[in-house]
Amino acid sequence: MRMLLGFLGAFLPPDALADAQARASRLSPEDRSLGAERLRGITASHRAWVLDAGSRAGLRAQWRALFNSFDAVILPIMPTPAFPHDHLPEQRLRRISIDGKDYPYSDQLAWPGVATLPGLPATAVPLGLSKDGLPVGVQIVGPFLEDRTPLKLAELIEREFGGFEPPPLFDD
């Protein structure tokens, strides 16, 4: 999450960035929670960003090795099914409730970040509706610069599972 959110700090209002920097400075080095890594990311120095770029290259190499044995990898799209949207103007204040506990919206980026962080192509494909009638699906991750691989697998999965079904409110 730290590497994925490194770009956000550049777009925070100065007071929000100062607040995040103050909170990040109080973090214990042992704290590797999602919230701590998020704070480290949005307040990262250029040096930290450069070191993270090296880690990103290492992740890409690990994926390249995996794709020597597999054509694609199927992963969740998000950690939760679809949910009611929060339209607060300040994204950093947006929350999602999971099992009665509020989390920052940005935590939803964890699964999409698996593909986007190393720059891999990924295709989201719907699989149907949850028990609450909300869309669920998977993402298909393919090898670097091989965008057609996840697209073709998505086409095959859609053919077997029926493709996109609009939620009841959008069925008109």
Q: Is the pLDDT of residue 124 over 90?
A: yes
Any domain includes 23: no
Residue 15, domain member (yes or no)? no
Q: Which residue has the higher pLDDT, 17 or 142?
A: 142
Q: What is the pLDDT of residues 9-66, one digit of tens each?
A: 788 889 988 999 999 999 999 998 888 888 888 898 888 888 888 989 999 999 999 9
Helix (H) or strand (E) holding 83: none
Q: How many domains does the chain fold into?
A: 1
Pairwise pLDDT comparison (97 vs 54), residue with the higher score: 54
- The whole-number pLDDT of residue 169 equals 63
What percentage of the chain has pLDDT greater than the value 70? 93
- pLDDT at site 171: 56
Instruction: Specify the pTM.
Output: 0.74
Give the closest residue to 76 by CA, choosing from 142, 123, 139: 139
For 41, how many CA atoms within 13 A lie in the half-sphere containing its CB? 20
Contact at 8 Å (CB) between 140 and 150? yes
Domain of 158 in residue numbering reads as 70-170
Transcribe 101-130 into DSSP letters: EEEEGGGGGHHHHHHHTTT--EEEEEEEE-
Report the DSSP beta bridge partners of residue 139. 75, 124
Say if 50 falls within a structural domain. Answer: no
Q: Confirm whether 159 is domain-assigned.
A: yes
- For the chain, the average pLDDT equals 86
Q: Is residue 14 part of a domain?
A: no
Return phi, psi of residue 161, to 5°: -100, -5
Choice between 161 and 75, residue whose per-residue pLDDT is larger: 75
Cα–Cα distance between 172 and 167 in angstroms, integer? 10
Q: Is the per-residue pLDDT at 146 higher than 90?
A: yes
Residue 17 lies in a domain: no
pLDDT in tens, 72-93: 999 998 887 777 777 878 777 8
Q: Is 164 contained in some domain?
A: yes
Domain-embedded: residue 64 = no
